[in-house]
């Protein structure tokens, strides 16, 4: 793998976002990489904080308000922009969401794992809670701790590397903007194109579910209300 483009989409939740950013920037990464934060209409105050931290810590910041007037969420636009840039740079694309904390060696080992598997479309780190127990969205992997294996189920984009091979084979501009769960769809596309997706349970990352999107805590506190909002008001596009 020659190059790596790392992205974190975010809207507000500045505390968890900065934890994510600091962990990524503290990583030991051997391949050349660029780290970009896509700010999806955070508040004015949080946008100013992101601009401040961008100068202090050295990550790139893209304010989507400068690019589109489409209201948040703009996850599909982020995927399309990130893919375009990655392909232009001949880079694989690593998505680290803003409620995830990587270990210092996670990213390089994920790169190595994907590189060693020529058929790899997506290489994903399993997610765990603060106690080290596998949690949402990888509950199906419980019992396979310490393994790295091919999965038929989809890979969440909590911490997932999309290989350049996959990026070259499928244009994200063809994704249906009316569909939900782009991670599910892209996982299936990878398999349809003859690639395999791998879950690395030996490279766990801390995931505090939806810390970056507090309203989604309803999934745990009031699931009935959450799914009413999701399916009837169509508020979840990620």
In this prediction, residues 31-41 reach a mean pLDDT of: 98
Q: Rounded CA gap, 225 and 16, in Å?
A: 25
Phi, psi of 192 (to 5 degrees): -60, -30
C-alpha torsion angle, residues 82, 84, 90, 93 (rounded to 10): 20
Of 168 and 229, the one with more pLDDT: 168
Question: What does pLDDT average to over the chain?
Answer: 91
DSSP 227: H
* Ranges of each domain in the chain: 3-232
Identify the band that residue 178 occupies on the pLDDT scale cut at 50, 70 and 90.
confident
Cα(24)–Cα(8) distance, rounded to whole angstroms?
10
Q: Quick check: 212 pLDDT over 50?
A: no
Give the lowest-confidence range in 141-150, 159-168, 198-207, 223-232.
223-232
Give the pLDDT mean for 169-173: 98
pLDDT at 237: 46
Domain at 3-232: CATH code: 3.90.550.10
Average the pLDDT over each of 5-19, 31-45, 115-129, 175-189 and give the range with the smallest value: 175-189
């Amino acid at each position: 793998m020659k190059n790596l483009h790392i992205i974190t989409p975010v809207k507000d939740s500045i505390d968890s976002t900065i934890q994510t950013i600091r962990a990524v920037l503290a990583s030991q990464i051997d391949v050349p990489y660029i780290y970009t934060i896509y700010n999806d209409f955070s508040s004015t105050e949080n946008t100013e904080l992101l601009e401040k931290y961008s100068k202090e810590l050295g990550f790139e910041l893209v304010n989507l308000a400068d690019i589109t007037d489409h209201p948040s969420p703009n996850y599909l636009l982020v995927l399309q922009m990130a893919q375009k840039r990655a392909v232009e740079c001949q880079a694989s694309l690593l998505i680290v969401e803003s409620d995830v904390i990587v270990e210092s060696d996670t990213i390089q080992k994920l790169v190595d794992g994907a590189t060693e598997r020529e058929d790899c479309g997506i290489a994903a780190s399993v997610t765990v809670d603060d106690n080290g127990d596998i949690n949402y969205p990888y509950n199906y992997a419980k019992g396979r701790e310490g393994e790295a294996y091919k999965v038929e189920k989809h890979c969440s984009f909590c911490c997932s590397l999309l290989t350049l091979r996959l990026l070259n084979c499928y244009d994200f501009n063809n994704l249906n903007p009316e569909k939900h769960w782009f991670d599910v769809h892209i996982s299936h596309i990878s398999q349809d194109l003859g690639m395999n997706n791998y879950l690395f349970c030996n490279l766990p990352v801390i995931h505090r579910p939806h810390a970056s999107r507090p309203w989604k805590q309803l999934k745990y506190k009031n699931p009935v209300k959450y799914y009413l909002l999701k399916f009837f008001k169509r508020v979840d596009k990620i």
